[in-house]
Chain A
Amino acid sequence: MDAQQLTTLAGVIDKKMNRQLKQYIDICARCAICKDACHQYVGTGDFKYLPARRAELIRQVYKKYFDKTGRFVPALYEARDPDDNLLDELYDSAYACTGCRRCMYYCPFSIDTAWILSVAKAILIAAGRGNEMLGQLADAAIFKGDNAEMFNDVMISGFEDIQEEVRAITGNPESQVPVNKQGADILYVALAGAHSIRPAAVIFEEAGESWTISMFEAANYGFFYGDAEKARLITKRYIDEAIRLGVKEIVVPECGHAYRVAEFFYEAWSKEPMPFKVSHILEKVDQYIKAGRITVDKGLIEGKVTYHDPCQLGRNGGKFEEPRDIVKAVTDNFVDLTPNRAEQWCCGGGGGIVAMEEFKDVRLASGIKKVEQLKASGASVLACPCENCRLQIEELNEVHELGLQVWQVIDLVVAAMPLKGKKPMQA
Protein backbone atom coordinates (compact mmCIF):
# COMPACT_ATOMS: atom_id res chain seq x y z
CA MET A 1 0.00 0.00 0.00
CA ASP A 2 1.52 3.34 -1.01
CA ALA A 3 1.70 6.53 1.07
CA GLN A 4 -1.24 8.10 -0.74
CA GLN A 5 -3.49 5.13 0.03
CA LEU A 6 -2.41 5.14 3.66
CA THR A 7 -3.22 8.84 3.89
CA THR A 8 -6.64 8.19 2.41
CA LEU A 9 -7.36 5.41 4.90
CA ALA A 10 -6.14 7.55 7.80
CA GLY A 11 -8.59 10.21 6.64
CA VAL A 12 -11.43 7.69 6.67
CA ILE A 13 -10.54 6.61 10.19
CA ASP A 14 -10.31 10.20 11.37
CA LYS A 15 -13.72 11.01 9.90
CA LYS A 16 -15.45 7.96 11.34
CA MET A 17 -13.95 7.94 14.83
CA ASN A 18 -16.19 10.21 16.84
CA ARG A 19 -15.89 10.75 20.58
CA GLN A 20 -18.11 7.79 21.43
CA LEU A 21 -16.06 5.37 19.35
CA LYS A 22 -12.78 6.69 20.76
CA GLN A 23 -14.20 6.13 24.21
CA TYR A 24 -15.17 2.57 23.34
CA ILE A 25 -11.68 1.60 22.23
CA ASP A 26 -10.15 3.33 25.26
CA ILE A 27 -12.33 1.77 27.94
CA CYS A 28 -12.39 -1.87 26.84
CA ALA A 29 -10.91 -3.69 29.84
CA ARG A 30 -10.37 -6.95 27.90
CA CYS A 31 -12.49 -8.71 30.50
CA ALA A 32 -13.73 -11.03 27.73
CA ILE A 33 -17.25 -11.23 29.09
CA CYS A 34 -18.21 -10.69 25.46
CA LYS A 35 -16.78 -14.10 24.52
CA ASP A 36 -19.71 -15.87 26.15
CA ALA A 37 -22.20 -13.51 24.52
CA CYS A 38 -21.05 -13.87 20.91
CA HIS A 39 -22.71 -16.73 19.03
CA GLN A 40 -19.81 -16.81 16.54
CA TYR A 41 -17.15 -17.15 19.20
CA VAL A 42 -19.20 -19.68 21.15
CA GLY A 43 -19.93 -21.64 17.99
CA THR A 44 -16.39 -21.70 16.60
CA GLY A 45 -14.02 -20.98 19.49
CA ASP A 46 -12.04 -18.93 16.98
CA PHE A 47 -10.23 -15.99 18.57
CA LYS A 48 -10.82 -13.77 15.54
CA TYR A 49 -14.55 -13.75 16.29
CA LEU A 50 -14.10 -12.58 19.88
CA PRO A 51 -15.86 -9.18 19.97
CA ALA A 52 -13.08 -7.51 21.95
CA ARG A 53 -10.57 -8.81 19.42
CA ARG A 54 -12.58 -7.39 16.53
CA ALA A 55 -12.58 -3.97 18.18
CA GLU A 56 -8.91 -4.34 19.02
CA LEU A 57 -8.05 -4.31 15.30
CA ILE A 58 -9.55 -0.84 14.99
CA ARG A 59 -7.77 0.28 18.14
CA GLN A 60 -4.45 -0.87 16.65
CA VAL A 61 -4.86 1.03 13.41
CA TYR A 62 -6.26 4.09 15.19
CA LYS A 63 -3.25 4.22 17.50
CA LYS A 64 -0.91 4.09 14.53
CA TYR A 65 -2.18 7.41 13.20
CA PHE A 66 -3.83 9.30 16.02
CA ASP A 67 -2.00 8.40 19.21
CA LYS A 68 1.53 9.54 20.05
CA THR A 69 2.54 6.22 21.58
CA GLY A 70 1.40 4.32 18.54
CA ARG A 71 2.95 6.78 16.10
CA PHE A 72 6.40 6.79 17.66
CA VAL A 73 6.70 3.33 19.23
CA PRO A 74 4.22 1.25 17.26
CA ALA A 75 5.71 -2.14 18.16
CA LEU A 76 5.47 -1.44 21.88
CA TYR A 77 1.89 -0.24 21.72
CA GLU A 78 0.60 -2.74 19.16
CA ALA A 79 -0.10 -0.07 16.60
CA ARG A 80 -0.42 -1.34 13.03
CA ASP A 81 -0.60 -0.01 9.50
CA PRO A 82 -3.67 -1.12 7.55
CA ASP A 83 -1.57 -3.46 5.39
CA ASP A 84 -2.98 -6.45 3.52
CA ASN A 85 -2.80 -8.69 6.59
CA LEU A 86 -4.73 -6.24 8.72
CA LEU A 87 -7.26 -5.65 5.95
CA ASP A 88 -7.82 -9.40 5.72
CA GLU A 89 -8.41 -9.55 9.47
CA LEU A 90 -10.74 -6.55 9.32
CA TYR A 91 -12.69 -8.17 6.51
CA ASP A 92 -13.31 -11.37 8.48
CA SER A 93 -14.14 -9.44 11.63
CA ALA A 94 -16.45 -6.89 10.08
CA TYR A 95 -18.36 -8.79 7.40
CA ALA A 96 -18.77 -11.98 9.44
CA CYS A 97 -20.27 -10.00 12.32
CA THR A 98 -24.07 -10.18 12.20
CA GLY A 99 -24.42 -6.90 14.08
CA CYS A 100 -26.62 -8.57 16.70
CA ARG A 101 -25.10 -6.46 19.52
CA ARG A 102 -25.51 -9.22 22.08
CA CYS A 103 -21.91 -8.49 23.11
CA MET A 104 -22.93 -4.90 23.84
CA TYR A 105 -25.83 -6.10 25.99
CA TYR A 106 -23.49 -8.10 28.22
CA CYS A 107 -20.49 -5.72 28.12
CA PRO A 108 -20.06 -3.92 31.48
CA PHE A 109 -19.30 -0.74 29.50
CA SER A 110 -21.91 -1.32 26.79
CA ILE A 111 -19.25 -1.18 24.09
CA ASP A 112 -20.98 -1.29 20.72
CA THR A 113 -18.72 -3.58 18.72
CA ALA A 114 -21.01 -3.47 15.69
CA TRP A 115 -20.62 0.30 15.55
CA ILE A 116 -16.84 0.01 15.89
CA LEU A 117 -16.91 -2.44 12.99
CA SER A 118 -18.63 0.19 10.85
CA VAL A 119 -15.21 1.87 10.88
CA ALA A 120 -13.67 -1.37 9.64
CA LYS A 121 -16.15 -1.52 6.77
CA ALA A 122 -15.44 2.12 5.87
CA ILE A 123 -11.71 1.34 5.78
CA LEU A 124 -12.30 -1.74 3.62
CA ILE A 125 -14.56 0.12 1.18
CA ALA A 126 -12.02 2.95 0.88
CA ALA A 127 -9.32 0.34 0.19
CA GLY A 128 -11.46 -1.31 -2.49
CA ARG A 129 -11.94 -4.36 -0.26
CA GLY A 130 -15.63 -4.05 0.62
CA ASN A 131 -17.73 -7.19 0.21
CA GLU A 132 -18.46 -7.48 -3.50
CA MET A 133 -21.81 -9.27 -3.17
CA LEU A 134 -23.28 -6.77 -0.72
CA GLY A 135 -21.98 -3.92 -2.87
CA GLN A 136 -23.65 -5.39 -5.95
CA LEU A 137 -26.96 -5.89 -4.17
CA ALA A 138 -26.84 -2.31 -2.90
CA ASP A 139 -26.02 -0.95 -6.35
CA ALA A 140 -28.85 -2.96 -7.94
CA ALA A 141 -31.31 -1.42 -5.46
CA ILE A 142 -30.03 2.08 -6.21
CA PHE A 143 -30.29 1.37 -9.93
CA LYS A 144 -33.92 0.38 -9.48
CA GLY A 145 -34.55 3.66 -7.68
CA ASP A 146 -32.84 5.74 -10.36
CA ASN A 147 -34.66 3.93 -13.19
CA ALA A 148 -38.02 3.21 -11.60
CA GLU A 149 -39.93 3.65 -14.86
CA MET A 150 -37.93 0.79 -16.38
CA PHE A 151 -39.45 -1.62 -13.84
CA ASN A 152 -42.98 -0.22 -13.56
CA ASP A 153 -44.62 -2.72 -15.89
CA VAL A 154 -43.06 -5.84 -14.38
CA MET A 155 -43.74 -4.61 -10.86
CA ILE A 156 -47.39 -3.85 -11.58
CA SER A 157 -47.81 -7.16 -13.40
CA GLY A 158 -46.36 -8.93 -10.35
CA PHE A 159 -48.71 -7.06 -8.01
CA GLU A 160 -51.68 -8.04 -10.19
CA ASP A 161 -50.72 -11.69 -9.91
CA ILE A 162 -50.42 -11.37 -6.15
CA GLN A 163 -53.79 -9.62 -6.04
CA GLU A 164 -55.38 -12.68 -7.64
CA GLU A 165 -53.78 -14.90 -5.01
CA VAL A 166 -55.02 -12.57 -2.26
CA ARG A 167 -58.57 -12.75 -3.64
CA ALA A 168 -58.37 -16.53 -3.69
CA ILE A 169 -57.31 -16.52 -0.02
CA THR A 170 -59.86 -13.97 1.25
CA GLY A 171 -62.64 -15.28 -0.98
CA ASN A 172 -63.39 -11.65 -1.72
CA PRO A 173 -63.18 -10.63 -5.40
CA GLU A 174 -62.86 -7.01 -4.30
CA SER A 175 -59.59 -7.52 -2.36
CA GLN A 176 -56.88 -5.25 -3.68
CA VAL A 177 -53.15 -4.79 -3.80
CA PRO A 178 -53.34 -1.03 -4.34
CA VAL A 179 -50.55 0.58 -6.36
CA ASN A 180 -49.74 4.30 -6.36
CA LYS A 181 -52.84 5.12 -4.33
CA GLN A 182 -52.61 8.83 -3.65
CA GLY A 183 -53.65 9.80 -0.12
CA ALA A 184 -53.62 6.28 1.33
CA ASP A 185 -52.94 6.21 5.06
CA ILE A 186 -50.20 3.59 4.83
CA LEU A 187 -47.37 2.88 2.39
CA TYR A 188 -46.39 -0.75 2.89
CA VAL A 189 -42.77 -1.24 1.85
CA ALA A 190 -42.45 -4.98 1.41
CA LEU A 191 -39.50 -7.15 0.50
CA ALA A 192 -38.92 -7.99 -3.16
CA GLY A 193 -40.49 -11.40 -2.68
CA ALA A 194 -44.23 -12.02 -3.04
CA HIS A 195 -44.21 -13.88 0.29
CA SER A 196 -43.94 -10.60 2.19
CA ILE A 197 -46.77 -8.97 0.20
CA ARG A 198 -49.42 -11.70 -0.01
CA PRO A 199 -50.20 -12.24 3.71
CA ALA A 200 -49.81 -8.54 4.52
CA ALA A 201 -52.30 -7.70 1.78
CA VAL A 202 -54.78 -10.24 3.15
CA ILE A 203 -54.49 -8.68 6.61
CA PHE A 204 -54.70 -5.06 5.41
CA GLU A 205 -57.71 -5.83 3.26
CA GLU A 206 -59.54 -7.78 5.96
CA ALA A 207 -58.80 -4.97 8.45
CA GLY A 208 -60.26 -2.43 6.05
CA GLU A 209 -57.00 -0.51 6.04
CA SER A 210 -56.29 2.39 3.69
CA TRP A 211 -52.97 1.29 2.20
CA THR A 212 -50.88 1.12 -0.92
CA ILE A 213 -47.91 -1.01 -1.89
CA SER A 214 -44.47 0.51 -2.47
CA MET A 215 -42.71 0.06 -5.80
CA PHE A 216 -39.50 -0.47 -3.84
CA GLU A 217 -38.28 -3.09 -1.41
CA ALA A 218 -37.36 -2.41 2.22
CA ALA A 219 -34.22 -4.56 2.30
CA ASN A 220 -31.10 -2.43 2.45
CA TYR A 221 -27.82 -4.05 1.45
CA GLY A 222 -26.10 -0.68 1.60
CA PHE A 223 -26.52 -0.91 5.36
CA PHE A 224 -24.90 -4.35 5.49
CA TYR A 225 -22.20 -3.26 3.06
CA GLY A 226 -21.25 -0.45 5.41
CA ASP A 227 -21.81 2.53 3.13
CA ALA A 228 -24.16 5.03 4.76
CA GLU A 229 -24.61 6.98 1.53
CA LYS A 230 -25.72 3.90 -0.42
CA ALA A 231 -27.97 2.95 2.50
CA ARG A 232 -29.48 6.43 2.50
CA LEU A 233 -30.14 6.36 -1.24
CA ILE A 234 -31.82 2.95 -1.00
CA THR A 235 -34.10 4.16 1.82
CA LYS A 236 -34.73 7.49 0.10
CA ARG A 237 -36.50 5.67 -2.75
CA TYR A 238 -39.52 4.84 -0.62
CA ILE A 239 -39.29 7.95 1.57
CA ASP A 240 -39.71 10.09 -1.57
CA GLU A 241 -42.51 7.80 -2.72
CA ALA A 242 -44.28 8.21 0.64
CA ILE A 243 -43.99 11.99 0.41
CA ARG A 244 -45.30 11.94 -3.18
CA LEU A 245 -48.30 9.82 -2.21
CA GLY A 246 -49.00 11.86 0.90
CA VAL A 247 -49.27 8.87 3.24
CA LYS A 248 -49.42 9.21 7.02
CA GLU A 249 -47.36 6.17 7.87
CA ILE A 250 -44.71 3.86 6.42
CA VAL A 251 -45.05 0.22 7.41
CA VAL A 252 -42.02 -2.02 6.97
CA PRO A 253 -42.26 -5.81 6.59
CA GLU A 254 -40.94 -8.75 8.58
CA CYS A 255 -37.34 -7.74 8.05
CA GLY A 256 -35.19 -6.82 11.03
CA HIS A 257 -32.71 -4.39 9.56
CA ALA A 258 -35.31 -2.71 7.34
CA TYR A 259 -37.20 -1.62 10.44
CA ARG A 260 -34.07 -0.37 12.15
CA VAL A 261 -32.92 1.55 9.07
CA ALA A 262 -36.26 3.28 8.57
CA GLU A 263 -37.03 3.96 12.21
CA PHE A 264 -33.61 4.77 13.65
CA PHE A 265 -31.06 5.58 10.96
CA TYR A 266 -32.60 7.38 8.00
CA GLU A 267 -33.18 10.72 9.71
CA ALA A 268 -29.58 10.73 10.92
CA TRP A 269 -28.28 9.94 7.44
CA SER A 270 -30.50 12.44 5.63
CA LYS A 271 -30.47 15.08 8.39
CA GLU A 272 -34.14 15.67 7.66
CA PRO A 273 -37.14 14.76 9.82
CA MET A 274 -39.60 12.33 8.26
CA PRO A 275 -43.10 13.78 7.88
CA PHE A 276 -44.72 10.48 8.81
CA LYS A 277 -44.55 7.68 11.31
CA VAL A 278 -42.63 4.43 10.76
CA SER A 279 -44.21 1.21 12.03
CA HIS A 280 -43.38 -2.44 11.81
CA ILE A 281 -46.05 -4.64 10.21
CA LEU A 282 -46.41 -6.58 13.47
CA GLU A 283 -47.29 -3.42 15.39
CA LYS A 284 -50.18 -2.92 12.97
CA VAL A 285 -51.29 -6.55 13.10
CA ASP A 286 -51.20 -6.51 16.91
CA GLN A 287 -53.39 -3.39 16.86
CA TYR A 288 -55.82 -4.96 14.38
CA ILE A 289 -56.24 -8.07 16.54
CA LYS A 290 -56.66 -6.12 19.78
CA ALA A 291 -59.11 -3.70 18.16
CA GLY A 292 -61.12 -6.55 16.65
CA ARG A 293 -60.40 -5.37 13.10
CA ILE A 294 -59.31 -8.88 12.13
CA THR A 295 -60.45 -12.16 13.62
CA VAL A 296 -58.13 -15.03 14.47
CA ASP A 297 -59.10 -18.50 15.59
CA LYS A 298 -56.84 -20.22 18.12
CA GLY A 299 -57.85 -23.67 16.95
CA LEU A 300 -56.39 -23.47 13.46
CA ILE A 301 -52.64 -23.72 14.19
CA GLU A 302 -51.42 -27.21 15.08
CA GLY A 303 -48.43 -27.98 17.29
CA LYS A 304 -46.38 -26.15 19.87
CA VAL A 305 -45.33 -22.72 18.62
CA THR A 306 -42.26 -20.76 19.62
CA TYR A 307 -40.90 -17.35 18.66
CA HIS A 308 -37.42 -16.12 17.77
CA ASP A 309 -36.57 -12.45 18.43
CA PRO A 310 -34.63 -11.17 15.42
CA CYS A 311 -31.79 -9.09 16.84
CA GLN A 312 -32.57 -6.00 14.77
CA LEU A 313 -36.23 -6.03 15.72
CA GLY A 314 -35.85 -7.14 19.34
CA ARG A 315 -32.64 -6.24 21.11
CA ASN A 316 -31.88 -3.41 18.69
CA GLY A 317 -35.42 -2.33 17.87
CA GLY A 318 -37.27 -2.79 21.14
CA LYS A 319 -40.13 -4.83 19.69
CA PHE A 320 -40.53 -7.78 22.03
CA GLU A 321 -44.16 -7.91 23.08
CA GLU A 322 -46.20 -7.16 19.95
CA PRO A 323 -45.02 -10.28 18.09
CA ARG A 324 -45.54 -12.45 21.19
CA ASP A 325 -49.03 -11.04 21.72
CA ILE A 326 -49.86 -11.93 18.12
CA VAL A 327 -48.54 -15.48 18.44
CA LYS A 328 -50.42 -15.93 21.72
CA ALA A 329 -53.57 -14.68 19.99
CA VAL A 330 -53.37 -17.41 17.37
CA THR A 331 -52.44 -20.33 19.63
CA ASP A 332 -52.78 -21.46 23.24
CA ASN A 333 -49.76 -23.67 22.69
CA PHE A 334 -46.96 -21.09 22.86
CA VAL A 335 -43.59 -21.70 24.46
CA ASP A 336 -40.85 -19.08 24.62
CA LEU A 337 -37.23 -19.81 23.85
CA THR A 338 -34.75 -19.57 26.71
CA PRO A 339 -33.17 -17.04 26.95
CA ASN A 340 -35.41 -14.59 25.14
CA ARG A 341 -36.13 -10.93 24.40
CA ALA A 342 -32.97 -8.79 24.95
CA GLU A 343 -30.95 -11.90 25.88
CA GLN A 344 -32.08 -13.88 22.84
CA TRP A 345 -29.28 -15.68 21.01
CA CYS A 346 -28.57 -14.46 17.50
CA CYS A 347 -29.44 -17.21 15.01
CA GLY A 348 -26.26 -16.40 13.08
CA GLY A 349 -27.94 -15.23 9.88
CA GLY A 350 -27.97 -11.44 10.19
CA GLY A 351 -25.84 -8.67 8.77
CA GLY A 352 -26.12 -9.92 5.21
CA ILE A 353 -24.03 -13.00 6.04
CA VAL A 354 -26.52 -15.33 4.31
CA ALA A 355 -25.54 -13.71 1.01
CA MET A 356 -21.80 -14.20 1.57
CA GLU A 357 -20.76 -17.73 0.65
CA GLU A 358 -17.29 -17.31 2.15
CA PHE A 359 -18.79 -17.23 5.65
CA LYS A 360 -21.07 -20.25 5.26
CA ASP A 361 -19.06 -22.48 7.62
CA VAL A 362 -18.86 -19.95 10.43
CA ARG A 363 -22.51 -19.04 9.87
CA LEU A 364 -23.70 -22.60 10.32
CA ALA A 365 -21.35 -23.27 13.24
CA SER A 366 -22.52 -20.10 14.96
CA GLY A 367 -26.12 -21.31 14.88
CA ILE A 368 -25.49 -23.99 17.49
CA LYS A 369 -26.95 -21.98 20.39
CA LYS A 370 -30.11 -21.38 18.37
CA VAL A 371 -30.33 -25.09 17.59
CA GLU A 372 -30.00 -25.91 21.30
CA GLN A 373 -32.71 -23.39 22.17
CA LEU A 374 -35.07 -24.73 19.54
CA LYS A 375 -34.55 -28.34 20.59
CA ALA A 376 -35.12 -27.47 24.25
CA SER A 377 -38.38 -25.70 23.43
CA GLY A 378 -39.99 -28.83 22.03
CA ALA A 379 -41.78 -26.64 19.48
CA SER A 380 -42.76 -27.85 16.04
CA VAL A 381 -43.54 -24.39 14.64
CA LEU A 382 -41.26 -21.36 14.74
CA ALA A 383 -42.61 -17.87 14.12
CA CYS A 384 -39.84 -15.54 13.01
CA PRO A 385 -40.28 -12.03 11.61
CA CYS A 386 -36.98 -11.63 9.76
CA GLU A 387 -35.99 -12.88 6.32
CA ASN A 388 -32.32 -13.39 7.13
CA CYS A 389 -33.16 -15.25 10.34
CA ARG A 390 -35.61 -17.50 8.51
CA LEU A 391 -33.07 -18.36 5.82
CA GLN A 392 -30.51 -19.26 8.47
CA ILE A 393 -32.91 -21.20 10.68
CA GLU A 394 -34.34 -23.11 7.72
CA GLU A 395 -30.81 -24.20 6.87
CA LEU A 396 -30.11 -25.13 10.51
CA ASN A 397 -33.44 -26.96 10.50
CA GLU A 398 -32.25 -29.06 7.58
CA VAL A 399 -28.69 -29.65 8.78
CA HIS A 400 -29.73 -30.58 12.33
CA GLU A 401 -32.99 -32.31 11.29
CA LEU A 402 -35.07 -30.28 13.72
CA GLY A 403 -38.36 -30.99 11.96
CA LEU A 404 -39.51 -27.42 12.42
CA GLN A 405 -41.96 -25.48 10.31
CA VAL A 406 -40.51 -21.96 9.99
CA TRP A 407 -43.17 -19.30 9.41
CA GLN A 408 -43.44 -15.57 9.05
CA VAL A 409 -45.65 -14.26 11.87
CA ILE A 410 -48.08 -12.83 9.30
CA ASP A 411 -48.34 -16.26 7.65
CA LEU A 412 -49.33 -17.66 11.02
CA VAL A 413 -51.96 -14.94 11.38
CA VAL A 414 -53.45 -15.57 7.94
CA ALA A 415 -53.51 -19.31 8.65
CA ALA A 416 -55.49 -18.55 11.83
CA MET A 417 -57.97 -16.22 10.14
CA PRO A 418 -61.37 -17.80 9.36
CA LEU A 419 -61.41 -16.64 5.74
CA LYS A 420 -63.87 -17.58 3.04
CA GLY A 421 -61.23 -18.47 0.47
CA LYS A 422 -58.70 -21.28 0.28
CA LYS A 423 -56.00 -21.58 2.92
CA PRO A 424 -52.69 -20.25 1.66
CA MET A 425 -49.61 -22.35 1.38
CA GLN A 426 -46.90 -21.38 3.80
CA ALA A 427 -44.38 -18.94 2.29
Chain B
Amino acid sequence: MSEENKIDLELDLKGLLCPLPMVKVSQNIGKVEVGGIIRAVATDPGAMADIPAWAKSTGNEVLQAEKVDGQFVFLVKRVK
Protein backbone atom coordinates (compact mmCIF):
# COMPACT_ATOMS: atom_id res chain seq x y z
CA MET B 1 0.00 0.00 0.00
CA SER B 2 1.35 3.40 -0.93
CA GLU B 3 2.12 6.05 1.65
CA GLU B 4 -0.68 8.27 0.37
CA ASN B 5 -3.15 5.47 1.14
CA LYS B 6 -2.18 5.09 4.76
CA ILE B 7 -5.23 3.86 6.62
CA ASP B 8 -6.33 6.01 9.54
CA LEU B 9 -9.36 4.01 10.60
CA GLU B 10 -10.53 0.46 9.92
CA LEU B 11 -14.25 -0.30 9.94
CA ASP B 12 -15.49 -3.86 10.05
CA LEU B 13 -18.97 -3.63 8.56
CA LYS B 14 -19.32 -7.31 7.77
CA GLY B 15 -22.80 -8.62 8.45
CA LEU B 16 -24.40 -5.19 8.52
CA LEU B 17 -27.35 -4.78 6.18
CA CYS B 18 -27.70 -1.73 3.94
CA PRO B 19 -27.95 1.13 4.53
CA LEU B 20 -26.04 0.55 7.79
CA PRO B 21 -22.59 0.29 6.14
CA MET B 22 -23.13 3.77 4.67
CA VAL B 23 -24.44 5.03 8.02
CA LYS B 24 -21.35 3.71 9.82
CA VAL B 25 -18.96 5.32 7.33
CA SER B 26 -20.83 8.59 7.70
CA GLN B 27 -20.78 8.36 11.51
CA ASN B 28 -17.05 7.70 11.52
CA ILE B 29 -15.76 10.04 8.83
CA GLY B 30 -15.40 12.82 11.41
CA LYS B 31 -13.01 10.63 13.40
CA VAL B 32 -10.26 11.05 10.81
CA GLU B 33 -8.59 14.30 9.86
CA VAL B 34 -9.27 15.95 6.51
CA GLY B 35 -7.16 13.94 4.06
CA GLY B 36 -7.44 10.85 6.27
CA ILE B 37 -8.60 7.50 4.95
CA ILE B 38 -11.10 4.97 6.25
CA ARG B 39 -10.85 1.36 5.12
CA ALA B 40 -14.26 -0.28 5.37
CA VAL B 41 -15.13 -3.91 4.68
CA ALA B 42 -18.79 -4.79 4.10
CA THR B 43 -20.61 -7.92 2.97
CA ASP B 44 -23.88 -6.44 1.75
CA PRO B 45 -23.66 -5.80 -2.02
CA GLY B 46 -25.88 -2.73 -1.64
CA ALA B 47 -22.89 -0.95 -0.14
CA MET B 48 -21.27 -0.85 -3.59
CA ALA B 49 -23.79 1.79 -4.61
CA ASP B 50 -24.58 3.27 -1.20
CA ILE B 51 -21.09 4.27 -0.06
CA PRO B 52 -19.97 5.87 -3.36
CA ALA B 53 -23.29 7.76 -3.56
CA TRP B 54 -22.87 8.99 0.01
CA ALA B 55 -19.28 10.07 -0.76
CA LYS B 56 -20.30 11.95 -3.92
CA SER B 57 -23.18 13.73 -2.26
CA THR B 58 -21.13 14.73 0.81
CA GLY B 59 -18.05 15.82 -1.14
CA ASN B 60 -15.83 13.01 0.08
CA GLU B 61 -13.92 10.59 -2.13
CA VAL B 62 -13.98 6.84 -2.62
CA LEU B 63 -10.45 5.82 -3.61
CA GLN B 64 -11.36 2.17 -3.95
CA ALA B 65 -14.54 0.11 -4.08
CA GLU B 66 -13.77 -3.51 -4.89
CA LYS B 67 -15.19 -6.95 -4.40
CA VAL B 68 -12.51 -9.13 -2.83
CA ASP B 69 -13.25 -12.75 -1.92
CA GLY B 70 -16.97 -12.06 -1.59
CA GLN B 71 -16.44 -8.96 0.53
CA PHE B 72 -16.70 -5.33 -0.48
CA VAL B 73 -13.65 -3.25 0.39
CA PHE B 74 -13.73 0.55 0.39
CA LEU B 75 -11.09 3.20 0.86
CA VAL B 76 -12.87 6.43 1.70
CA LYS B 77 -10.92 9.69 1.93
CA ARG B 78 -12.23 12.55 4.00
CA VAL B 79 -12.06 15.59 1.75
CA LYS B 80 -13.80 18.17 3.93
**Which A residues fall within an 8 A CB radius of B?**
133, 136-137, 139-144, 147, 150-151, 154-155, 157-158, 161-162, 191-195, 217, 219, 355, 357, 387, 391, 427
- On whether the beta carbons of A147 and B46 are closer than 8 Å, the reply is no
Interface assignment of B64: CB less than 8 Å from any CB of chain A: no
Q: Which of A143, A162, A194, A357 contacts B57 (CB 8 A)?
A: A143
- On whether the beta carbons of B17 and A154 are closer than 8 Å, the reply is no
Interface assignment of B75: CB less than 8 Å from any CB of chain A: no
- The digit string for B41-58, where 1 denotes a CB below 8 A from any CB of A, is 000111111101110111
Name the residue in A142, A192, A391 with the highest tally of chain B Cβ atoms < 10 Å from its Cβ: A192
Q: Which of A151, A154, A193 contacts B18 (CB 8 A)?
A: A193
Q: Which of B2-10, B22-30, B32-40 interfaces with chain A?
A: B22-30
- On whether the beta carbons of A136 and B57 are closer than 8 Å, the reply is yes
- On whether the beta carbons of B49 and A155 are closer than 8 Å, the reply is yes
Shortest distance from the beta carbon of B47 to any chain A beta carbon, whole Å: 8
Contacts of A157 in B (CB 8 A): 45, 48, 67
Q: Which of B22, B65, B67 contacts A140 (CB 8 A)?
A: B22
Question: Complex formed: what's the CA distance from A223 to B27 in Å?
Answer: 20
- On whether the beta carbons of A161 and B26 are closer than 8 Å, the reply is no
Listed from nearest, the 5 A-B pairs whose CB atoms lie closest are A192-B46, A192-B18, A158-B45, A193-B17, A193-B18
- On whether the beta carbons of B44 and A194 are closer than 8 Å, the reply is yes
Question: Complex formed: what's the CA distance from A150 to B52 in Å?
Answer: 10
Shortest distance from the beta carbon of B39 to any chain A beta carbon, whole Å: 19
- On whether the beta carbons of B44 and A140 are closer than 8 Å, the reply is no
Contacts of B50 in A (CB 8 A): 140, 192
- On whether the beta carbons of A143 and B56 are closer than 8 Å, the reply is yes
- On whether the beta carbons of A219 and B49 are closer than 8 Å, the reply is no
Instruction: Offer 16 A-B interface pairs, CB within 8 angstroms, sorted by A.
Output: A133-B26, A136-B26, A136-B54, A137-B23, A139-B57, A143-B53, A143-B57, A151-B49, A151-B53, A154-B48, A154-B65, A192-B49, A192-B50, A193-B18, A193-B46, A194-B44
Shortest distance from the beta carbon of A427 to any chain B beta carbon, whole Å: 7
Shortest distance from the beta carbon of B43 to any chain A beta carbon, whole Å: 9
- On whether the beta carbons of B49 and A136 are closer than 8 Å, the reply is no
Given contacts A140-B54, A427-B17, are A194 and B46 in contact (CB under 8 A)?
A: yes
Name the residue in A155, A157, A158, A191 with the highest tally of chain B Cβ atoms < 10 Å from its Cβ: A158
Shortest distance from the beta carbon of B57 to any chain A beta carbon, whole Å: 4
